[in-house]
Structure 1
């Protein structure tokens, strides 16, 4: 068994070079891992890239296991990868929201009250962003946490997408936030053409991109780490300066 790392929600270990075992870091994460074991066997065959299909290995303590998804975290980007991710997101967002709901997937409400009390007093210019986020749609099956650490590639092509713990019914623009706003133009433009991104969708994706560091502030408060909080506030201010429309 080899330790792979940990995120905000779970720790991961590689077993026999083939299997990934994941354990929740907090009790409230357990139901998310169990939900993945129910939803992913239905969803995976509909997607054009490899994804984890976990099964519950033990219930106490909770451990889920899935086959290792090949590839490494993206560090370089090209148009081919952008087209691949556009195709992946089109397929994901076309999956039946109603069937997902029957399998236990629901909306993921944003912690708006905590944002107002823990972030907004220090960044009052973020009030308009919170108002926009509060009114966005929530009727599409989305990954919910798509970034370079969860999109894998090798030899210039994508090989898989991992970590579906935040899978929920939400605004499809949330899955475009990083891809349209934090990647090189050749990648982002290819994705946008393949997916069919509209101007209105771009603006919503920017709003979600701007909101990302707000969660880091809350996480830092939860774990009592002032450095994480400070880094989150830096990100909040930097991203708000982008404006309401992409450059």
Structure 2
């Protein structure tokens, strides 16, 4: 069932994204190719990844993951619960409001803004972390911090266009959800990297990786990843 939902989210978000951006993969020109790359690399993958991360969080809270990862997800529980509560409150407000819902609102995407900021702070902490296993912080300073900052700037820019009425309702929803799912990935990934770095131990999410269907590409070798993680953990 997990693999079916993964494929449904992946294919659904891809089709929706192509319609939203108005890209024909067959006849795409230079600008449309960039838009297509945005859909394929920055938006679509994070829809099913959000679902898998939610499952991991739920399983960890029910003691169906290692104690090590349960501790990690517990450290993120306040943020996740806060996001869920905010979403419920927003839904209630719009449901009770007399004016009709404005599709140019940035409520969904707005939930993602602080997540990008938290991710940036996590990467900043990582850049200042010095341990026996971490000799250089170049990755965090040169790649991870700029990426999270770029995500926030892009989300703000696209949200401004949305509030100015540049998008139709179906476009607005897809764009806002994509921003939120992308920001959530940044949050969890940055927190995981920082958690692993501080504790000097990496744990491979075997069940999460196993839930990703083989879509014609070579599957990730879980055993190889485990060996590499164990090697790093022992160093």
Q: Same fold (TM over 0.5)?
A: no
More strand by share: 1
Q: TM-score range by the shorter chain?
A: 0.3 to 0.5
Higher relative contact order (CA 8 A, sep 6+): 2
Structure showing greater radius of gyration is 2
State the TM-score, normalizing by the size of structure 2. Answer: 0.33
